[in-house]
Structure 1
Amino acid sequence: MLKDTLGNRDKNRTALRDLAHNPYRRSTNLFCQGCADFNRCGGIAAKEGAGYCYNHCCGGKPDCETVCRQNPNFDAQIREIGGFDFGNIPHSAPLRAPALRGAAPLILHGKRRTGLLIAPIVAIKLRDLVNLRTGTLKYADRSALASAFKIRADSHLVITGIEQEHFVEPWWSLGRKARAPLLKEIAAMGIALVTPPNFSLFNDVPRTSNFSALKRIGMVQAEFNVAGIPCSLHPHIRNETDSARWVAYVAERPEIKSIAYEFSTGAGRYPVKDMHIEHLTRLAQQSGRPLDLVIRGDQRILPILRGVYRNVLYIDTNAFMKTMHRQSAIRSGNAGLDWVSQRTPEGAHLDDLLQHNVDEVTFATRHHLARAA
């Protein structure tokens, strides 16, 4: 059963894969040619009848929250982000950040362990650092955070905001005024790098909603940088025109030193996976300077992009979760990992199992990176 962007079941909805941009097999809808946003959009080549984005418009219902020209609140939506163009996003001075490469295990909590995880780089979620309802930090300082997650205080700490939409929007909803003092507090914790919230580009909405998400991606990344926190840009796209906009944006912003991308959901699926890889390649080759890359999702993409980026960091979401489910990593082939169940006594601590799994994922990641295309 298909679902819409709100998770509602709807047997009559077009499959999301049929809404994806696929210029190799589809043509741009004829209605796109006369659209006021065509130059900024470039058109979506999708299944017949599905590419014209206003086919997915509700017609401007009063309670609609989608950024859309039919929405009665469209003017207010545009004022909130200062228009769709990227030119008015604040600049910042380039920041110094450590060279991060290899694997960073995503750690969700410190339960079921007594000792500290030994890992040079560790990732935690933005929502595990910040109470998104109150806009306050959950930990008084870096030492308290390290103690709670049972990680070494000297590990490089990566904060990742890549999440499902219902965990991403609350960061924006805090508002710029509330985020400003919060960012100063985060800066004082000595964060190595942030990958900011990845506002989604849904397929089944008018493209103006996508343009709003793109602008917010740029604005939020700039906010972290202005606050003195090294932050990756998450330049998500739906088509080649989106890619061209990001390529031009990155080229003129020397403060952007790192790109973050997620290949575990939309970008990692057929038929758009190759388009996203090409997009990231163009960003690296046309930026005019070396860029770093942070990836979540499909490890097989690592060797493809390692050759065009200076440093590549893989945020691993498997080692911790597999440990909590009492599964152990077993090497398979040159760089593969199988996961096998492992019985543990009731109430047993999982320090050794987590360390083993993190070490094995780190080994596999290094192997993938060494096979740069």
Structure 2
Amino acid sequence: MSLCERDCKRCVLQLQCQGCSFCEMAFCARDCHRCFSLCPRRGASYALLHSIGGGELSLSKNNAKGLPLNIPVLPDHLTEPMDLGEIIGVHGGNFLTSNGENVARVYRKKGIQETLNLSNDPKAVLQFYIKDRTIEGLWDNRKELYKQLLEFSWAAVIAPNFSVYEDAPRMDHLYNIKRSSIVYNEMLEEGLPAVPDISWYNRIDLDQWIREIRKNHIKTIAFSFQTVSTQSKASNTWRHYLMGFAYLVSQLDDDVEIIIAGLVSPDRLQMLRTAGKSKNRISVLNQTAYIQSRRGILSEKPTESAGELTKNQILKRNIDFYTQEYETMNLGGSNYAKVEK
């Protein structure tokens, strides 16, 4: 008997739900009006999943991006004009309105360069590892948002990461994973340089992504460690994500480029490289350099005083530190020389 109290061997719905996750359905209070999840007890859940084509993935082809190994993410306006490189990262939570239905007015009026106070005019990588409220608004108003996104110069736009919670029913996973793939395909159709986000819960999900990436010759993907903390309490979560990443890259060709979100530590990135035994190029969305600079912390010497350095001077030092670390550990992989030419 499964957690949903059905017999999986006899249940005709298993083709859609793919079996239970470790959710709390068996302990459910059956208060469906207050519950956010999709589950077999709510008949409309199947209709909703069917309305987006079911849980099977289908992906369109994209191209290699040749992104730098270290992509500094700037969530806010700098206090003085700075040149932080030809490509920067933009946080979707600040780039969109809080309800997710439009690009924030300041960005549409001033553009990325003036809004962030950059002395150069870089291309940007837009990421949507953002709050559920904002991302749901993006989904509801996505066709209009695509038009607004085309007003900017992007190096890459990562498809939104709809939440795949461990304690949610399996149908909830399938619905959110499929929605991310739909937005990815639609962005490509609109002419945006879209990158699929590999959201997943189990090996079934990863196998679906692997099949589509290989079959359609997808050359750039994104993988998030956003929920993984540096604290010991998250060690099991870290191992779970590490094993998932290792399995994913072991099945991919070496020329697939990977954008990593939510993980900047050189030590842990080295563990990724070792565990996966991959030669894929890895680019890191790095907001830590900025956050530490606002706190007066030098990333290379976090326990020592930064002296009289300004926050912006610290930011530049932090970005240079991570860039050097990533180059030393060869995150460029087997494609480094080819991409950099």
Give the alignment's TM-score, normalised by structure 1. Answer: 0.73
2:132 is the counterpart of 1:171: no
Determine helix, strand or coil for the equivalent of 2:283: strand
Match of 2:56 among 80, 85, 110: 85
Matched with 2:93 is 127
**In the aligned structure 1, how far is the partner of 2:250 from the partner of 2:109?**
36
Which amino acid in structure 1 is aligned with residue 260 of structure 2? Answer: I
Matched with 1:315 is 285
**In the aligned structure 2, how far is the partner of 1:341 from the partner of 1:56?**
51
Compute the displacement of 1:141 (Å). 5.8
Q: In the TM superposition, what whole-angstrom CA distance separates every residue of 1:236-295 from its partner, at most 9, and x where no partner exists?
A: 2222222222222222233x3222122242598443544534443444443457211011
Compute the displacement of 1:220 (Å). 1.6
**In the aligned structure 2, how far is the partner of 1:360 from the partner of 1:72?**
53
Aligned counterparts, 1:93-112, within 5 A: 94-96=61-63, 98-111=65-78
**In the aligned structure 1, how far is the partner of 2:28 from the partner of 2:213?**
32
Cα RMSD of the aligned pairs, angstroms, is: 3.4
Matched with 2:337 is none
- Decide whether aligned partners of structure 1 residues 198 and 188 sit closer, same or farther in structure 2, where only a CA change above 3 A counts: same
Aligned counterparts, 1:126-165, within 5 A: 126-133=92-99, 134-139=101-106, 144-165=111-132
Compute the displacement of 1:158 (Å). 0.7
Compute the displacement of 1:169 (Å). 2.7
Compute the displacement of 1:302 (Å). 2.8
Which amino acid in structure 2 is aligned with residue 121 of structure 1? Answer: I
Which amino acid in structure 2 is aligned with residue 120 of structure 1? Answer: E
- Decide whether aligned partners of structure 1 residues 42 and 275 sit closer, same or farther in structure 2, where only a CA change above 3 A counts: farther
Determine helix, strand or coil for the equivalent of 1:118: coil
**In the aligned structure 2, how far is the partner of 1:341 from the partner of 1:44?**
51
Matched with 1:116 is 82
2:205 is the counterpart of 1:261: no
Matched with 2:318 is 357
Which amino acid in structure 2 is aligned with residue 71 of structure 1? Answer: R
Which amino acid in structure 2 is aligned with residue 261 of structure 1? Answer: F
**In the aligned structure 1, how far is the partner of 2:307 from the partner of 2:243?**
44
Determine helix, strand or coil for the equivalent of 2:138: helix
Compute the displacement of 1:39 (Å). 5.2
Aligned counterparts, 1:242-253, within 5 A: 242-253=205-216
- Decide whether aligned partners of structure 1 residues 142 and 224 sit closer, same or farther in structure 2, where only a CA change above 3 A counts: farther
Compute the displacement of 1:160 (Å). 0.9
- Decide whether aligned partners of structure 1 residues 243 and 58 sit closer, same or farther in structure 2, where only a CA change above 3 A counts: farther
Q: In the TM superposition, what whole-angstrom CA distance separates every residue of 1:33-70 from its partner, at most 9, and x where no partner exists?
A: 4455545666568xxxxx36532544362343311221
**In the aligned structure 2, how far is the partner of 1:166 from the partner of 1:117?**
33
Compute the displacement of 1:131 (Å). 2.3
**In the aligned structure 2, how far is the partner of 1:131 from the partner of 1:189?**
16
Match of 2:236 among 266, 271, 283: 271
Q: In the TM superposition, what whole-angstrom CA distance separates every residue of 1:122-178 from its partner, at most 9, and x where no partner exists?
A: 111123222253424535669732111022544231111112434433322xx2xx3
Match of 1:227 among 190, 211, 217: 190
Kept in 2, the 8 Å contact 1:68–1:206? The answer is yes
Which amino acid in structure 1 is aligned with residue 88 of structure 2? Answer: V
Q: How many aligned positions are there?
A: 322
Question: Larger % of helix: which?
Answer: 2
Determine helix, strand or coil for the equivalent of 1:369: coil
**In the aligned structure 2, how far is the partner of 1:362 from the partner of 1:233?**
24
Identity of aligned residues (%): 18
Kept in 2, the 8 Å contact 1:61–1:71? The answer is yes
